Amino acid sequence: MSATFEIRGSVAVITLANPPVNGLGFETRVAFVEALERASADTAVKAIVITGAGKAFSGGADIREFGSPKAIAEPNLLTLILTLEASGKPVVAALHSVCMGGGLELALGCHYRVAAPGTLVALPEVKIGLIPGAGGTQRLPRVLGVENALNMIVSGEPVKSELLAMAPGQTLFQKIIEGDLLAGAVAFANEVADVRPLPLVRNLKVEHPNADAYLQFARNTVGAMSRNFPAPLKCVEAVAASLKMKFDDGMRFERDTFIALMMTPECRALRHAFVAERATTKIADVPADTPLREIRKLAVIGAGTMGGGIAMNFLNAGLPVVLLEAKQEALDRGVATIRKNYEAQVKKGKLKQDKLDARLALLSTTLNYADLGDADMVIEAVFEDLAVKEAVFKQLDAVMKPGAILASNTSTLDVDRIAAFTARPQDVIGTHFFSPANVMKLLEVVRGKATAKDVLATVMALGKKIRKTCVVSGVCDGFIGNRMIEQYARQAGFLLEEGCAPAQVDKAMEKFGMAMGPFRMGDLAGNDVGWYIRKRRYLEKPHMRYSRTADLLCELGRYGQKTGAGWYDYLPGKRDAIPSPLVVEMIEKHRAELGVTPRKIGDDEIVHRLVYSLVNEGAKIIDEGIAMRASDIDMVYLSGYGFPLFRGGPMCYADTVGLYNVVASMKRFAQNPLDDATFWQPAPLLARLAADGKTFS
């Protein structure tokens, strides 16, 4: 049953019961209307209270119905709200825990609202590229005032009920109830049972002392902050409609705007990302109720930039960490860096001194592997070399207690080979953090062929605890993200040989929406990292073609920001990328040696060659079972590689363009004599989907 009904004296209590957050799905809406009709028909009932079971009043729309006919089937949310408004008996919404989206719009359709302290109230639709679509932009300004309502609607951020109750002149809540919410709501319902006429939010006036000036200020501010996202400015216009139009006209404006936004590529991308992030936790052969191993203490090997950042994640979550290094000086430097990072947060007001002290109190250090023996999980963050990893894991195998999880922070190496260095391969897993590890959201969780299901489930749960977006990858060279970025970098090199400058390529990709182009990214990561991988490739895969430009750059010692020179020049202490005449000269000399006459290359070609190189490799990764689903690849790129959120990730972008069109472009690129024709051979999955008119999603 998705809504329950009970009688308390002369008050009917209707409880939404659709876990986990009482989403307003079709069955819930049907049961809700039936319960309302039952309460209306019962002459002994004088008032009605609506609340939610479990840990929410209602989180709004049921995401499991997104895009299905059930999402708009009658009775829809608008019908529910009209039914509430038409009730001849007072309806009191008793809000607690979470009241968001359609849940708040439902509450605004009630005659009265009471709330428990700490209830998180929000209209978060803007975060999926929409505006509220069931009266939120028209009713919220009537109960909170225009400015408070607009701030909530444009940001989509939750606000605690007691803070909203303090807003001057607010009529969102008639009462904040301490203690037993339901008992208090029933008592309040009895108090107002005979009050007539029944108050309706729609009948309240919307006023602002300087409406035109404020709205123009809002348009200017929101427009400057929401480039590439149409929904925030539409939120402003919908709230403006509440001021300028009659209620019913404003409702029509809101609904028309909502429907128009639903069709935009930005909205599709944001909805895709919303669902994709939640899908990453679903692992086909690992049941949701798999018992987890207890993780009470962590060990981290390596106190460098990566190891220190990894340790900070667990300290932030209140977990003790023991940090191991080979030499005391390296250990001291690592601890000093961790302290410096925390002190910077204190200076910015993001962290209080007592929190800094508490976190550092959880950190201990050692030079001895034997001191790691009582840790429940260990993560190594040592140099990316298989021989080094072998030495580390053999020592861990000797000292770690039975059942401890042994994790490698490798970014490219074979986790199965690393597991084979131990007598407990079932306990070994890859945890690929991204730098800086204490900031970046992505965590690639690499599942070896012997990795136990409970180990995988435990690491995924731990990743959630430290607020990472965890994506499961199978074992291959580079896993998901780095395997794809290698093809992206290869294609960027070919563009240089054909006529582009590094700055031109970067600007085209940044205009597309990438956080930074491939050459700025190379300078940030360190060009020597790619050089190390290419040297390995030349031996392992001599048939693979690379542009020599990146090797020539490294031969000049231009490794990037850390050396003050890479594809760009850098001033001491600054990160501004300054185009380098020396690099341009180097590229031009290389072209001349190849006998290449440079040509003018447009931004569209740059973007499509680079993005489609990601898409094609992504299709291979799905086909090989390295990634479980296309949306997992999108989450890797959205949370770890700066791919624009409004594009939804490379696989989502390919679906938007149309896979037939992607393949047609690839065939065209293959005709370029200076490119690599084999590079543009469509992956079998991509070719099949394009031929069948299907999409990755």
Active site positions, annotated: 105, 125
Contact predicate 34/69, CB 8 Å = no
Question: Residue 138 and residue 602: Cα distance in Å, rounded?
Answer: 45
Task: Give the residue among 151, 137, 285, 266 at the shortest CA–CA distance from 201.
Answer: 137
β strands within 91-158, DSSP E: 91-95, 98-100, 112-115, 120-122
| Cis peptide preceding 581, ω within 30 of 0 | no
3 state SS of 227: coil
Answer left, alpha or beta for residue 179, where phi above 0 means left and psi between -120 and 50 means alpha: left
Q: Give CA–CA dist 663/658, Å, rounded.
A: 9
Q: Residue 366 — left, alpha, or beta (φ > 0 → left; ψ -120 to 50 → alpha)?
A: beta
- Assign 12 to helix, strand or coil: strand
Strand segments (E) across 369-427: 377-380, 405-408
Q: Tell me the residue length of the chain.
A: 697
Say if CB 138 and CB 241 are below 8 A apart: yes
Q: Residue 48 and residue 8: Cα distance in Å, rounded?
A: 10
Number of CB atoms found within 10 A of residue 26's CB: 19
Q: How far is CA 486 from CA 382, 492, 509, 538, 626, in A?
A: 22, 10, 16, 14, 16
User: What is the CB neighbour count within 10 angstroms for residue 678?
Assistant: 10
Residues 483, 488, 490, 492, Cα dihedral to 10°: -160
